[in-house]
Structure formats: C-alpha cells, structure tokens
Homo-oligomer: A and B are copies of this chain.
Amino acid sequence: MRTKRDLDILFNPRSIAFIGASQNPAKWGFIIPLNILKGQFKGELYPVNPRLESFLGIPCYPSVGAIPGSVDLAIITTPAKTVPSLIDECGAKGIRFVIVVSSNFSETGPEGAELERELVERAGRYGITIVGPNTMGIYSAASRLNALMPPVVPLEGRLSMFSQSGNVGVQMLYWGNNKGLGFNKFVSSGNEADLTCEDYLAYFGDDEATEVILGYMEGIDPGSDLIRVARRVCRKKPVLIFKGGRTATGGKAAASHSGAMAGSSRVLKGVFRQAGIVEIAESQGLIDAAKIFSAYPIPKGNRVGILTRGGGWGVITADACEEHGLVVPPLPEEIIRRLDKILPPYWSRGNPVDMAANILLEPFMECMEALAEWDEVDSVIALGGSIQGIFDFEAKVEGTKELKEVIILAREVAREYTTQNDVVLDHTRDLVDRTGKPVVVVTLGDYEGFKSDLRDHGVVSYPTPERAVKALKRMVEYRRFLDSPVEEI
C-alpha cells in the first residue's frame, strides 16, 4: 500500500504562484486567477508572467524565482511543452505542490504521454507532488481557495469530492449551490500522473473537516489500492462513488476519455459493497444522496413510516419503498390510537398515513411526530412537508372588482400559510435531532426551495418520493455495512 500523502498544504496553502497569468479573458490564465480573487482567497496570490507588471490590481512577477516570500503551491496554465522547465523553477523555489491545469498530455496520445512522464520525473527530483495535468482545479473552504475553471463559488460545508472528470465534478458544485449543499474540499484529479483518487480518498478519510466523501471515477482496478483505502475510510465516514463506464458502451467512452479500463460492472459492484463504498448509478442520485448523508443521521434499519396529504402520493411512495428494499410496516394499535385523535374518523389507519386532504399544518406536524416516535420505524418520509412555490404570487389579477379583491386576499392568506411553513421545517429538524431518525420531506413542488429547506432549517427535501426513497436506500445500505463485522485486511 502506498505511503499516506499529507495533502494539508495543497488544500490549505498560505501562498500561491499562479504561473501563466494572462490578460486575455478567453484564457484559463485569466479565468482561474479571476475565480481565485472572486473567491476571496485568504492567502497570498502571486501572478507570474514576464510580460505583465500587474494583474487585476495586484503585482505580477516575471518568474517564480522573483516572488519575494515563500510559496506553498504553484498553479500552471501555460502550454504543455513549457511545463517541465517550470517544474524546475518551482523546485528551485522550494514549492512542494504543483497543480498542472494545462492539457495536451497523456489524454491526447503518445507524444503527450511522453511529456507527462517527463513532468513526473522532474517533479520527483524536487519532491514536488503534482495534481493533474489536465485538471479543472481545486477548491478548499478553509482557505477560501477557489482555483476552478468555471465561475462557481461553492457553498461551504462538510462534503469533500474527488472527480476523474472535471466537468462532472464541477457540476456537482453547481448543483450543491442550488440545493444548499456545502463542500469542504474538491479536486478534479485530471490525468492522475502523480496524485490519484486513492490519495485524495485517504486524505479526505483522515481529514476532520470532511464528513462525507463523494467521488466520480471511471477507471477502478478491483484489486487496487483504492479499494484497500476505501475499506478503512468507509468505517469512519460514508464514501459515495458514482462510477462512469459501468457498461460496455460507457466503458468504451471512458477509455477514450480518461483512458480508464472498465472493469466488469458485476465484479466491481461486489468489491464496492465489500469495501463499504455506497455506489451511485445516476448523476442526480449522487447529489441527492450527498444531501441526506451530509445532513441526517444514518437510520438503524430499513423500516419507513410514510405521511402523505393525498392518497395517491402515499401509494407511489409505498411502491418506491418496496422496489428499493425499504419496508413499510403496518401501524400498531398504539400509533393508531394516537393518530385517531388527530385525523378524521374515516382515516385509513394504515401506513402510509393519509391525511385525507387535510392541509392544516398543526395536525401534519403531530402525525409526523407520532411516526418519528414510533419505535418500529427507522425513518420517516413526509410528503407535503414543505409547500413553498405552490402559489403564484406574481400572477396577473383579472376579473370583476370583487374577484380582484378576493384574489389579492387569497394571495395574502397563501403567503401567510407559506410563511408558517418555516414552523413545520423547524419542527422537522427538531424531530430528527430528538429521535435520531431521518425525517425526509418530499415537497412535490418543482422549485429550489430545497436550498432554504436545507440551509436555513437543516431539513432534507426532494421534489419526488422516488428520489427521497432512493437517497434513503443508500443510507440503509451504508448502515448494513457499518453493522457488518470488520474484515481482516
């Protein structure tokens, strides 16, 4: 097994040399330092370009050697063929980490591969550790380091991610922003000439600021170090991996993208499960699972209580539960008696608990509480627990004078009702904390109130029951792993 790599300085540099600073707004040498500055990096940024005196209002240096202070990290965006000699300069300056954003290395053919070997060989001479080449950059919340290609500034959180595809990885940062999901560290691993996914996995595993690890991978050798590292890390924190190239078709695409050799999907699935990796097979599912793992406790088992405002949605949720291995136990007498006090006489007395079109908030909260406190379920799915976005407050008011007045009044009532929604969300979070069970909200609303649900109330919500069930299922799988005996390694 490879020696543990200490990547603390890479993710927490006090100073960065940005080699290839450019005033051409179409160049990465402009866009990336712009993103670093926009992200309000806490350390020193030293742009390097012999043809520039200043860059966006800060001094620019003719060479790495000309930088006055010490430098922890260099980022290079200059053409591939210039990179090896720049490594020499970095080595001379005592820089320990270099991120090579430049492309045209092994991903483009044998000539690039030769250049990549030279790059690694030179770095080795100076004890320099390389990220990339052909990477879309890194992000680190602690130092507000936002050295990424696209103009995304992630929310801060406890999730860390490595990605063998820059595009897929940064998209998760975007989606995280839209859903209120915060990241702690992110790295696009690029061609992995030196640092590889298993290095990042091991580091995130030991990193106290990281609570959940996400990964997008294309090439995984079932007997690789990655699996050995995962076995250890997964006991400590959840590792969710989205594997591209699961099929022959996808594998062929992966081979020409990242050069990954696709292993048999079936073999890999077993290896993942044994190691404790939570495997995700859909892009939306990765961010959905990340959300619940980052905000909720792992349930003790697969039994679910369902609360719904309308019967049909209860049926759909129950179907999804069975299809994904979750169990919906019947209500015991004691819970029925408790719900009898809240619901109309003709309520169905089953799980899903159907509120029969009662849209009031108080009984909804009481039912949710009864289900969460029921000791024969491990989690609760509450449909309609967030109703933001249902009412169109901006719609044009038309009709008779009386009608217009009523529409405006109805709007005020709806607005008041929407505001009370916050009470339900806070109550939901209290239940999670008190019972230690995930109480997952399904909004049905197709909106991004999810962001405030999570960010302002700590509540995990999804637009559909199926997405809630699939995310919960991932937690149940992880629970099974945690409860399994530790294997000899």
Q: Say whether A487 faces chain B, with CB atoms less than 8 Å apart.
A: no
Which residues of chain A from 178 to 214 have a CB within 8 Å of any chain B CB? 178-179
CB pair A218–B312 under 8 Å, yes or no, is yes
Q: Say whether A69 faces chain B, with CB atoms less than 8 Å apart.
A: no
A228-259 near B? 1/0 per residue, CB < 8 Å: 00000000000000001111111011101110
Q: Say whether A70 faces chain B, with CB atoms less than 8 Å apart.
A: no
Q: Which residue of B lies closest to A348 (CB)?
A: B256
Q: Say whether A2 faces chain B, with CB atoms less than 8 Å apart.
A: no
Which residues of chain A from 344 to 376 have a CB within 8 Å of any chain B CB? 346, 348-350, 352, 354, 357
CB pair A253–B315 under 8 Å, yes or no, is yes
CB pair B168–A312 under 8 Å, yes or no, is yes
In the complex, what residues of B have CB within 8 A of residue A253's CB?
311, 314-315, 318, 328, 350, 352
Q: Say whether A38 faces chain B, with CB atoms less than 8 Å apart.
A: yes
How often does this chain occur in the complex, in copies?
A: 2
- Contact among B254, B346, B446 for A174, CB-based, below 8 A: B446
CB pair B403–A466 under 8 Å, yes or no, is no
A339 CB, nearest partner CB in chain B, Å:
14
CB pair A354–B448 under 8 Å, yes or no, is no
In the complex, what residues of B have CB within 8 A of residue A352's CB?
253
CB pair A56–B403 under 8 Å, yes or no, is yes
CB pair A313–B165 under 8 Å, yes or no, is yes
In the complex, what residues of B have CB within 8 A of residue A250's CB?
315-316, 318-320, 322
Q: Say whether A473 faces chain B, with CB atoms less than 8 Å apart.
A: no
Interface residues on A, range: 35 or more
In the complex, what residues of B have CB within 8 A of residue A447's CB?
178
Would A315 and B354 be within 8 Å (CB), given that A40-B398, A322-B247, A410-B25 are in contact? no
A311 to B174, CA, bound (A): 18
Q: Which residue of B lies closest to A216 (CB)?
A: B312
CB pair B465–A150 under 8 Å, yes or no, is no
A394 CB, nearest partner CB in chain B, Å:
13
In the complex, what residues of B have CB within 8 A of residue A327's CB?
249
Kindly name the residue among A165, A178, A312 whose own CB sees the greatest number of chain B CB atoms within 10 A: A312
Q: Which residue of B lies closest to A30 (CB)?
A: B406
Q: List 6 A-B contacts (CB under 8 A).
A: A34-B407, A168-B313, A169-B312, A246-B323, A257-B314, A284-B464
* Shortest 9 CB-CB contacts between residues of A and residues of B: A165-B312, A167-B310, A257-B311, A250-B319, A57-B402, A57-B400, A247-B322, A168-B312, A108-B346
